[in-house]
């Protein structure tokens, strides 16, 4: 079977180089084009999709709608799961990454962004950015995050992943997950059996399908991005350099 991991297309806050987290922002024109490209690549590769899962954040759901239109996947069969949401960036949410690096130092910001188990500064209970104040998250039957490390994201993904992997093993076929940089990195860590240190250097570009070919026990047979090597390297360098002071 094939498992396709797709990071949403470029969002407005990606363009503005801001920590987005659980903030709902929409795709840019480039992000829309990236989503269209992703759908077309799946068609070109003749990959028939049996299930689609995505987060509940706009940039992921907008990408999902564009892709599913292109591959002719029924909208009513899309599964939405908050556990696939991006990492919550706590008190950094909304801040420009470069300005934050200038204020706190690139080393500190790199620790917040890329360490495995060190979360960013947490939101206070009365912060207007607190997810409890967002109507979209009112039905989440769990403690709402106010700042997460990658380890926290992996922990909240565990219930989803257990049910998900059991389902795809049982039903076979090819499956698509449209999510975010850190929620997808959490899945990559599991699939590739990466250490806590190894996952830190993994960068996932926007709008490029990552195809895992798996055996019946979900062991990885092969993996590839549906993009030529030169263009992929350029996109990964953009992701890697985001947040550095200019």
Which residues sit opposite 179 in a β-bridge? Answer: 7
| Residue positions annotated with a catalytic role | 8, 86
Q: In what order do the strands lie in the sheet with 2-7?
A: 78-80, 49-54, 174-179, 2-7, 210-214, 220-225
What is the C-alpha to C-alpha distance for residues 138 and 130, in angstroms, rounded to an integer? 12
Query: Tokens representing 118?
Result: 């060190």
Q: Which residues of 80-116 are buried (b: 16+ CB within 10 A; e: fewer)?
A: ebbbbbbbbbbbbbebbbbebbeeeebeebeebbbbe
The CATH topology of domain 2-236 is: Rossmann fold (3.40.50)
| The pLDDT of residue 127 | 96
Residues of the chain under the 50 pLDDT cut: 243, 245-246
What is the domain partition of the chain in residue ranges?
Answer: 2-236
What pLDDT, on a 0 to 100 scale, did the predictor assign at position 228?
75
Rounded Cα distance between 33 and 12, Å, is 13
pLDDT score of 246: 38
pLDDT on residue 236: 62
pLDDT score recorded for residue 245: 41
């Amino acid at each position: 079977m094939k498992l396709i991991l797709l990071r949403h297309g470029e969002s407005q806050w990606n363009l503005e180089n801001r920590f987005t987290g659980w903030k709902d922002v929409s795709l840019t024109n480039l992000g829309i084009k990236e989503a269209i490209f992703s759908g077309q690549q799946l068609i070109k590769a003749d990959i028939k999709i049996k299930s689609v899962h995505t987060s509940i954040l706009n940039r992921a759901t907008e990408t999902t709608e564009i892709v599913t239109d292109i591959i002719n996947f029924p909208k009513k069969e899309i599964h939405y799961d908050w556990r696939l949401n991006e990492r919550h960036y706590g008190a950094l949410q909304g801040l420009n990454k470069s300005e934050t690096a200038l204020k706190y130092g690139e080393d500190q910001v790199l620790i917040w962004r890329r360490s495995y188990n060190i979360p960013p500064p947490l939101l206070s209970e009365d912060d207007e950015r607190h997810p409890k104040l967002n109507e979209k998250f009112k039905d989440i039957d769990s403690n709402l995050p106010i700042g997460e490390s990658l380890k926290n994201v992996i922990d909240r993904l565990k219930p989803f992943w257990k049910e998900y992997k059991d389902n795809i093993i049982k039903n076979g076929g090819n499956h698509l997950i449209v999510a975010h940089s850190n929620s997808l990195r959490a899945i990559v860590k599991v699939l590739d059996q990466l250490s806590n240190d190894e996952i830190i250097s993994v960068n996932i570009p926007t709008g490029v399908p990552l195809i895992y070919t798996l055996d019946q026990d979900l062991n990885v047979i092969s993996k590839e991005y549906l993009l030529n090597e030169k263009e992929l390297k350029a996109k990964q360098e953009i992701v890697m350099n985001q947040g550095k002071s200019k």
